[in-house]
């Protein structure tokens, strides 16, 4: 497994994204199905191997039933 090339702040965001998925009670497979993406897509984002853009973050949060404000306020 390669090391993430992103900043500490970015790592905190993807860690939070993983935690929000778990709070929603979803596995990576279930989240990927709802996003209509392969499980590897979710996995690579959560490991920091794939960069997450704002539009993708919005799609994840919609699936996890969280707003941007709720996501960043914690």
Per-residue confidence (pLDDT) for residue 7, from 0 to 100:
87
For residue 1, is pLDDT > 70?
no
- Domain range summary for the chain, segments of one domain joined by +: 8-73
pLDDT grade for 73, boundaries at 50, 70 and 90: confident
Residues 14-42 have pLDDT tens digits of 999 999 999 999 999 999 999 999 999 99
Q: Mean pLDDT throughout 49-61?
A: 94
Is CATH 1.10.760.10 correct for 8-73? no
DSSP notation for 16-61: HHHHHHHHTT--HHHHHHHHTS-HHHHHHHHHTSSPPPHHHHHHHH
pLDDT grade for 6, boundaries at 50, 70 and 90: confident
> Of the candidates 4, 22, 6, 21, which has an alpha carbon nearest to the alpha carbon of residue 60?
21
């Amino acid at each position: 497994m390669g090391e993430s090339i992103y900043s500490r702040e970015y790592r905190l965001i993807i860690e939070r994204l993983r935690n929000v998925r778990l709070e929603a009670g979803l596995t990576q497979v279930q989240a990927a199905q709802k996003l209509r993406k392969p499980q590897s897509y979710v996995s690579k984002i959560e490991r920091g191997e794939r960069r997450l853009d704002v539009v993708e973050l919005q799609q994840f949060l919609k699936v996890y039933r969280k707003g941007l404000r709720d996501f960043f306020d914690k």
